[in-house]
Each structure stands twice: as structure tokens, then as C-alpha cells.
Amino acid sequence: MAAVGKNLNPGAEARAKKGWLRASQWLILRRLSQLTVLALFLVGPVAEWWIAKADQAVIVGERTAATRQDKGGTARAHQDSASAHKAVSTAAEDWWIVKGNMASSLTLGVLPLTDPYVLAQQIAAGHWPLTTALVGAGIVLVFYLLVGGRVYCSWVCPINMVTDAADWLRSKLGIKGGARFSRATRYWLLGATFLVAVVTGTIAWELVNPVTMVFRGLIFGMGLAWGVVGMIFLLDLFVSKRAWCGHLCPMGAFYSLLGAVSLLRVSAANRAKCDDCMDCFAVCPEQQVIKPALKGATKGLGPVILSGNCTNCGRCIDVCARDVFQFDIRSTNPPTPRVTQKREVLP
Amino acid sequence: MAEQQQGKGMNPARRQFLTDTLRTACGVGLVALGLGLYSRNTRALPAEAIRPPGALAEEGFLGACIRCGLCVRDCPYDTLKLAKPGAPVALGTPYFTARDIPCEMCPEIPCVKACPTGALDPKLEKIEDSRMGLAVVIDQESCIAFQGLRCEVCFNVCPIRNKAITLEFRHNERTMKHAIFIPIVHSNACTGCGKCEKSCILEEAAIKVLPMHLAKGMLGRHYRLGWEEKREAGGALVTPDLPHQYNLPDGMRYEHGGRGLIQSPAPSGEVPSEPALEAIPRRGGGL
């Protein structure tokens, strides 16, 4: 009973004991990271829009002046406005930090980054990409293999803020139950996206992928993508807890596969100090990953969370009043004799 | 009863697992089917949406473009845009609408250079070689040039002036004393940049850039134009024509000058065909 009461406000004890900042530090850093990534992509377009707006009067002036001239004026006017436009682009050029979007980008004109999942779909569709995209995907793969596959989900993906908000509201409103999906659904969907790519020869999932749709929308113009954001919010709020990121998203599934072998992990290093307050379970978006590490001592399981589904969000580290959790390296997990920790089935 | 069923292999956990797996598989299968069907629909690119220079054919393009928008960013004229949700173009892919902002045909082709995947073919080196579409004078009824009025705006704005669009002079049957200047598009030079469509003076453009497959007809593959073949080969490819040979009764001959079949023997100076006729070996009675 006490545990349930506490879980309505998980982290209260940690905040009281460690102070608000230390009990929220990873959450704050995560939000900063998500917004910074978005901001880096937005600096260029916003600067261009700003400069273009300032120069609009000049362009219009030139155009009207030129059209007033006699024959041949039309062509010249077009040329003038075009060159003025080009000048605006050149002026804004200095402001571009990152071009493109999460599917593929170019940072400071030199660093190519490409989403390996989207690129894998392209290859499945039967098109071998250019070296630029392959190098970009390689860099991204190495990065996530070091810091944890689903760091993409919790530290970069903009949808995470939507689903976290939905989950927060869901617990505030005390909404329970709803549709039940298997957490493995995402892997089935991941397979399906590749299958459809192979069969149709097109990158079909990108026609509907809400993750890339929203990120692209924020940078290139949303259109009806707001509707998709709303649908995911409502799905997570009413239909099922953590439905999108925790059960369905094939992109998350792809990064889970990387996470299953990635270096940086969360570890319940001080699990002996756990007092079963359940705060970590209450805040964890992938609750099934905690138990083997936290409670597996008697079964000979190490304290490092090995499941690729763990997003390395660090929220469990925040809310634990006893500092049970910390970031650690996969190899620090003592070898586990017979029992493997790979399979934790929890719907 | 329950124990009996379990004894028969009705393990409830196993049953649950199978049911759940099937449930997921069916759900995901439905999604995949819907996705596949939808992706087939999106291949029908609307005629007014034009792909950037060097874009692969639509089917290949949808398998190669990862919707990153780098081409859009490097387009200096804001010509290109990414399809937003709800647009009739495959989500997130780049296109432009010629009537809004046509392609300015940058000689350095920055959009193609920006493409990381090759959806815009890097083999395109000269922008004049690009074939984004083909301009078609689609409505001769409203094009004022066909009414005998001087316009020629499309001819004048064309970046490949006097090659992609030429003017053909025709007699004005209405006034009986003026000429009509008709714009003619040539597919061997037109890149489909859309500047003609953009600058067409009509309320709705009479000249429009269409996708190649809509704009072009095609002769049957077996079809050959005799004069073209003759020119390429430097001579006739079929057996040269021999003078027609008649199987006429003795003393008769055919006069091509207009007299036709005549009876009198050929005049002494007018027998050039006879030796040739004799040179051909006869089989049986006839030729």
C-alpha cells in the first residue's frame, strides 16, 4: 500500500534526499539534448527565413523597377530577382550548422550523418547508396554502439517528448489498462518494414514513419504532421501505456538491436541497497529491463542492464533515493554462469 | 478436466504464447499489407509535380530517396520542396511546381551534388542533359500565338533559346496577310525546367511541363523510317530498283513516256532496257 502511494509521485524521496537538481539531472540533460539537436537543425532555416524577410523589400523593389523597362524587361526582371534571391541564400549560408534532417544530414559542410535504419531500408529496396550515405551511416552506427542504441530514442528523437508527456498525463489522470500489445510487436514491425521495402522496391515505411515525419516537419514544414503527433499522444494516453515507443516503433526496435551489444549501459551497481520502493519501475519506459539486473543477484545475474530495450535515459538513476543505479560499461558485468539474461518477457 | 487437457499437451502458457504471437503477426501483417498497397499508390506522381534534375525514374527514386532534404537546402532558388503529409506526392520526397518556382538550371547542379544516396544521379554532369520532364504546348486553343497574336514569351525565356523551343511560321488564314508564330518544343533539347510554364502569360498556362512518360509517344520498336536508315547507312538498304520488266508478246513493248503499250518494234536508238532484260536468266517461260 505504501509503495503504491509513493508511486503516484515517484522520485519524491530522491528529491527530498538528493535535492531537486540531482534528482532530475538526467531528465534535464535529456531534454536539453533533444532540444539542442532540433535547434542545430533549425539555425540555418530560421536564419535564412529571417534574412530573406529583411531583404524582401529590396527584391520587390528591383523587380518592379525592372518590369517598368520596355521589351526584354520581363526576362531581366526575373534574372534580377533570381540573383537577389541567390544573394539571400549566400548571406544565410554562414548560418547553416546542420543541413538536412535525421534521415541524412551534413554538419558544417563536412560531416555526413545518415540514419542507418533508413539506409538499411533503402538497401532492402534494392538501391545501393553512394559512399557519402554509407560513411554517414557508419559514423552513426559507431556512435550508438558506444553510447547505447536507444540513446537515439531518449536523447534525440522528438517523439520521445510527446510520449513522455502522454505517460506523465496518463499517470496524473490515473488512466489504467487499455489495449495490450506485446513488446515484441516492434520487432515484427521492423521485419515488416524491410519486407515491404523488398517487395515493393520502395522505402515504404518512410511514407508513414511518424518519427521522421515529425522531425522533417519541424524543419521543413509540418503540414498534417501535427495530426500524427496528436494521434501518438492520444495513443499513449488512452489506448495503451507507452504504446508507441515501448511497443510499436520499428525505429526503436532497430536501435534496440544496437543497444543489445552497445558499450554504455545503466547498472544497478548498488543493488544491495535497494529498498523496493518501486520508484524506478514507475518511471522506467521499459520496466521489464530492470528486474533481471536489480533482482537477479540470487540467480547469478550481473547488475548491468543488458537488454537492448533500455534507452539509457537515466531516469532510474535520478529517482533512486539510494543511488542504486549508475551509468557503467557493459564489460563490468561479472560473467553470468548458466542463466542468460536475454529473455525477459513482459507484455 | 483441466488436468486431462493439460495432459494432452494443452499447456496454457504455450497456448497463450501461440495466441499472442498469432495476434501480433496478424496485426503487423495487416499493417504491412496496407503499407504495401499505399506505397503502390504513391508511385503515381501527379503530373504537375516535377522531380529535381537527375532524379531516377519514379519507381527507382522511391527506393533510393531517403527524404533528407539536402537537395532542397542546396537549391539556391527555393525551387525544391519536400512533400508534406497530405500532399499528393510520396511523403518527404523533393519536387517542384514549375508554375510556382521553376528550375533555374544552375550549371553546377548543387541539388545533385548534395544528394547522399544517388537518388539524384551523380552521373548528371551538365544541367542541359537533365530531363526533369518535357514542355508541351498543351492547349493550342488558348495559346494566343495560335490566334495569330505575337507572344513568344515561352520562346524568349527558354534557357536553351531557339533549341528547346523554336518558332514555326505559318500563314494566318484569318487575316490572309499575316504570319502565325507557333512555339514548337524539341525533346532533344528541352530539360523540363519549367520556365516557359512559369512565364506563360495566360491565366492557366498553355505550355506545361509534363513527366516524360506522359509527354512522349513512341514508335513501335520494329518501326524504321526508310529515309533515316538510308541516310545513316549512306545508301539504300534494300535491293536497288530495277526497271520494271514485262512479259509481253513478241513485237509489243511498254513505253513510259505516256504512250503505254505499243506494237511497233523499238526504235533503233531506244533499246537500253532490252540488254538488261536479256542479262537476267530466265526460268521456264516467264521471268
Could you tell me the residue ranges of all domains in chain A? 4-27+263-332, 101-262
Mean pLDDT of chain B: 85
- pLDDT reported for residue A48: 80
- The fold adopted by the segment(s) A4-27+263-332 is Alpha-Beta Plaits (3.30.70)
For residue B70, give how far its alpha carbon lies from the nearest alpha carbon of chain A (Å): 5
Mean pLDDT by 10 residues, chain A (347 residues): 54 85 91 92 84 71 53 49 58 76 86 91 90 90 92 93 92 84 89 91 89 88 87 91 91 92 90 88 90 84 88 91 89 59 55
Using a 10 angstrom Cβ sphere, with 0-12 exposed, 13-18 middle and 19 or more buried, the burial of residue A1 is exposed
Give the confidence band of B10 by pLDDT, cuts at 50, 70, 90: confident
All cell numbers assigned to B48: 504537375
Nearest by CB to A196, from B36, B84, B86: name it.
Answer: B36
The residues near A17 (Cβ < 8 Å, ≥ 6 apart) are A23, A321
- pLDDT reported for residue B202: 94
Interface touch B24/A127, C-beta < 8 Å: no
Looking at per-residue confidence, does A149 or B270 come out higher?
A: A149
Interface touch B118/A129, C-beta < 8 Å: yes
**Distance separating alpha carbons of residues A45 and B5, to the nearest angstrom:** 67
Q: CB–CB of B154/B199 below 8 Å? A: yes
Angle at which helices A250-259 and A131-147 pack, to 10 degrees? 60
Cα A85 to Cα A55, A64, A77, A320: the distances in Å are: 9, 15, 12, 56
- pLDDT reported for residue A82: 56
Q: CB–CB of B39/B107 below 8 Å? A: no
Nearest Cα neighbor of B272 from B287, B253, B285 is: B253
Q: Which of B41, B42, B68 to probe by mutation at the A interface, max A CB count within 10 Å? A: B68
Q: Which H or E run includes A104?
A: strand A104-107
Write out chain A residues lying below 8 Å of B155, CB-based.
Answer: none
Interface touch B70/A119, C-beta < 8 Å: no
Give the confidence band of B286 by pLDDT, cuts at 50, 70, 90: very low
- pLDDT reported for residue A342: 54
**Distance separating alpha carbons of residues B82 and B176, to the nearest angstrom:** 51
Write out chain A residues lying below 8 Å of B65, CB-based.
Answer: 203
Q: Is B132 helix (H, G, I), strand (E, B) or coil?
A: coil
The residues near B100 (Cβ < 8 Å, ≥ 6 apart) are B198
Percent of chain B, pLDDT > 70? 87
For residue A220, give how far its alpha carbon lies from the nearest alpha carbon of chain B (Å): 7
Q: Is the pTM of this model over 0.90?
A: no
Looking at per-residue confidence, does B122 or A337 come out higher?
A: B122
Task: Tell me: ipTM over 0.90.
Answer: no
